[in-house]
A and B are shown apart, each in its own frame.
Chain A
Amino acid sequence: MVTISSLDVFIQVIINGTLYGCIYGLAAIGLSLIFGSMQIIFIAQGAMMVLASYFTYWFFTLTSIDPLLCFILLLPVFYALGAIIYRVCFKRVARAGKNPTLLLAFGIMVLFERAMALLWSPDTRSVTTDYTTMSLSLGNINISYIRLLVFVIGIAATIIVFLFLKKTMWGKAVRGSSEDPHAAALLGISPVKVATLTFAIGISLAGVAGVAVAMSYPFDPYFGFIFSLKALVAVAIGGMGSVGGAFIGGVLLGLFESLGSYLISSGWADAISYAIFLIVLIFFPEGLFGRSAKKV
C-alpha cells in the first residue's frame, strides 16, 4: 500500500510540475521571440505577467468579469503595450548594443514593479473563482481544472505562435529578419515594423501567462522577477530563439523543480533551477536541443 500511494504522489508531482512548467513555457516563448529577433533579453517579462495578473484581479473584483474572459480582453491591451514599449524605449537604444538594452529592460522591470506596488499595495493577492478548487480526479490523482486549462492554453498559444511564424507572410518575415536583418531589409521588409510586431507578440504572451498566474497562484508586485528568471532558464534550456524549444524548456524546468522539491526540499527549488541554468549556459550554449530546435 505504501509503495502505491508514493507512486501516486510521484505521478501527482510530475503532473503538477508539467502544468506549472506551462506557465514558464508561456513566458519563455515571448522572451525567446524577442531575443531571437532583436537579441534583447527582456527581463521585464515577469513584470508584464504580473501586470496582467493585476488587471485580471482588478476586473474580477471590481466588475466580476470571469478571469477566463481576461485571456481575450487583455490580448489587445498587451499587444499595444508591447508595441509602445518597443517604439518608445527600445527602438532608440537597440543600436547602442546589448548591455544598454538589458539595462533598459531592467529599468522597465523596476519601474513597473514599483508602480504596481504603489497602485495596488505590495500585499499578496489571489483570484478565487467558483471553479478554483474544482479538480479532476483520476483514482488518487487530482488535477485542478485551472491547471489543466493553463496547460491547454499554453499548448494552444505555442501552436498559434508556431503557425503564425510558419504560415503567415509576417511570420516568415520575423523569422527571416531574425536570421539576417540586413538581407530582410534588402527585400523591403522594414526592420522596425518586424521588431515592433515581435515585441507586441512577446508581451501579449506575457499577458496570457499573467492571466494564467492570477488564476492559479497568489501573487504580489515583485512576483514577476522570479518568473523572468525562470523563463530565461527555460529559453536557455530550449535554445535561444526557438519557440518550441522554449515551451518544452519551460515544461522541463517545471518538472525538474517539482521533482527537486519532492525529492530534496521545496526550499531548494529555485537553486536547482538556477543551477540547471548555469550548467546549460556553460556547457550547452546552444540549448539542450541544439541546432535542430533552432530551426523555428
Chain B
Amino acid sequence: MEKKLLSVENVNVFYGDAQAIWDVSFHVNQGAIVALIGANGAGKSTALNMISGFNPPATGRILYEGKSLNNLPPEEIVNRGISHVPEGRRLFKRLTVLENLELGAFNSTDSRKRMKQSLEEVFRLFPKLEDRINQPAGTLSGGEQQILAIGRAMMSQPKLLMLDEPSLGLAPQIVELMFDIITQLREKGITILLVEQNVYQTLRISDYAYVLQTGHLKMEGRGEELLADPDFQKTFLGMVY
C-alpha cells in the first residue's frame, strides 16, 4: 500500500454563502501525479485554494503527512512543503525573473545557502530561465512565464506541488512541453496535484484522477479507465450527440 501524502476527507467549502464543494474526499499518494478534472466552476481551483489555506473548509479534514492543515495560515502551509502554482500564473510581472524566483524562497531566506541551492536546482530543471534572470517577468512568452511560475513554486523545495491549469492559454506545442515538465518533476520525486481542463493529456500522464462536477465528486479512477468509460465521455466531454 502506497503512502498517502495528502488526504482530504469529506470537506464542504463555501464562497460566502454559496457552497462550492460538497462533501468531497480524495487523496494524493506520495510520488504520484493526481489530477482533478472538471469544467469551469466545478470547484477544482476552490479545492486547491482550500488546501493552501485561503479558503478553509467549513467541515471536514485536510491531512498532510498525517497532520491536520485545517485553519493554518497560508504561509505556514507553504512552510510545511506545499507549493501552489495558481491559475493564470500570477507572476510579479514588473519584477525580474531572478526576483520572482527569490520570492519563491521567501520563507527559507534564513539560509543563503539554501536559497542558492534552490536556485541551482531550478536552473538545472529549467536552463532557459538562467539566461533571462534580469529580464522583467512580464516580458517572457506565455510558456516561459508558466515555467517561471513552476520554478518559483519549486524554490521553497516543496514535497507537494499543486498546479492550477498549467496549460491554460498556451500554444499546442508548449502544452505538450508543459506535460513533459510535469512528468519530469514527478521523476524528481515531487508529488503533484494537477488541475486541468486539457482532459486527454492530463489523464495520459496522471496516475489517478478525480472528476468534479459543480462541487461534487462525480467519479474517480485511473486515467485509461476513465477514458474508456462511456459515462465519463458523456458527462464530461459533453458530446451527447
A residues in contact with B118, CB < 8 Å? none
B68 within 8 A of A: no
Binary per-residue interface labels of chain B (113-153) against chain A in the complex, 1 for a CB within 8 Å, 0 otherwise: 00000000000000000000000100000000000000011
B57 within 8 A of A: no
Q: Known contacts being A186-B74, A187-B78, is A169 close to B109, with CB within 8 Å?
A: yes
Determine if B94 and A294 form an interchain contact, defined as CB atoms under 8 angstroms apart: yes
The smallest C-beta distance from B31 to any residue of chain A, in angstroms, reads 23
Determine if B73 and A190 form an interchain contact, defined as CB atoms under 8 angstroms apart: yes
A290 within 8 A of B: no
A184 within 8 A of B: yes
Determine if A189 and B92 form an interchain contact, defined as CB atoms under 8 angstroms apart: no
B residues in contact with A190, CB < 8 Å? 73, 75
B95 within 8 A of A: yes
The smallest C-beta distance from A295 to any residue of chain B, in angstroms, reads 5
Determine if A183 and B94 form an interchain contact, defined as CB atoms under 8 angstroms apart: no
B102 within 8 A of A: yes
B56 within 8 A of A: no
Determine if B107 and A183 form an interchain contact, defined as CB atoms under 8 angstroms apart: no
Determine if A188 and B75 form an interchain contact, defined as CB atoms under 8 angstroms apart: yes
Among listed B8-16, B83-91, B206-214, interface-contacting one: B83-91
Binary per-residue interface labels of chain A (172-197) against chain B in the complex, 1 for a CB within 8 Å, 0 otherwise: 11011001101111111110000000
B residues in contact with A172, CB < 8 Å? 95, 99, 102-103
Contact count A vs B, C-beta below 8 Å: 68
Out of B91, B103, B156, which one reaches A173, CB within 8 Å?
B103
A residues in contact with B109, CB < 8 Å? 169
**Bound Cα distance from A189 to B136, whole angstroms:** 20
Determine if A169 and B102 form an interchain contact, defined as CB atoms under 8 angstroms apart: yes
Determine if A175 and B86 form an interchain contact, defined as CB atoms under 8 angstroms apart: no
A residues in contact with B136, CB < 8 Å? 295
Determine if B92 and A188 form an interchain contact, defined as CB atoms under 8 angstroms apart: no
B106 within 8 A of A: yes
Determine if A183 and B106 form an interchain contact, defined as CB atoms under 8 angstroms apart: no
**Bound Cα distance from A184 to B102, whole angstroms:** 12
A interface, over-half SS: helix
Determine if A185 and B95 form an interchain contact, defined as CB atoms under 8 angstroms apart: no
B residues in contact with A189, CB < 8 Å? 75, 103, 106
A residues in contact with B156, CB < 8 Å? 187-188
Q: Known contacts being A175-B95, A189-B106, A295-B94, is A182 close to B152, with CB within 8 Å?
A: no
B104 within 8 A of A: yes
The smallest C-beta distance from A95 to any residue of chain B, in angstroms, reads 14
The smallest C-beta distance from A238 to any residue of chain B, in angstroms, reads 16
B residues in contact with A186, CB < 8 Å? 52, 54, 74, 78, 84, 86, 90
Out of A169, A180, A294, which one reaches B92, CB within 8 Å?
A180
Binary per-residue interface labels of chain A (279-296) against chain B in the complex, 1 for a CB within 8 Å, 0 otherwise: 000000000000000110
Binary per-residue interface labels of chain A (149-184) against chain B in the complex, 1 for a CB within 8 Å, 0 otherwise: 000000000000000000001001101100110111
Determine if A183 and B86 form an interchain contact, defined as CB atoms under 8 angstroms apart: yes
B residues in contact with A176, CB < 8 Å? 92, 95, 99-100, 103
Determine if B95 and A187 form an interchain contact, defined as CB atoms under 8 angstroms apart: no
Out of A175, A188, A294, which one reaches B107, CB within 8 Å?
A188
A residues in contact with B107, CB < 8 Å? 187-188
Determine if B103 and A182 form an interchain contact, defined as CB atoms under 8 angstroms apart: no
The smallest C-beta distance from B239 to any residue of chain A, in angstroms, reads 35
The smallest C-beta distance from B91 to any residue of chain A, in angstroms, reads 7
- Residues of chain B having any CB pair with chain A under 8 Å: 52, 54, 73-75, 78-79, 84, 86, 90-95, 99-100, 102-104, 106-107, 109, 136, 152-153, 156
Q: Which 5 pairs show the lowest CB-CB distances between chains A and B?
A: A188-B78, A183-B90, A188-B75, A188-B107, A176-B92
Q: Can you list 18 A-B pairs, Cβ within 8 angstroms, ordered by A?
A: A169-B103, A172-B95, A175-B94, A176-B103, A179-B93, A182-B54, A182-B90, A186-B54, A186-B78, A186-B84, A187-B104, A187-B106, A188-B75, A188-B79, A189-B103, A190-B73, A190-B75, A295-B136
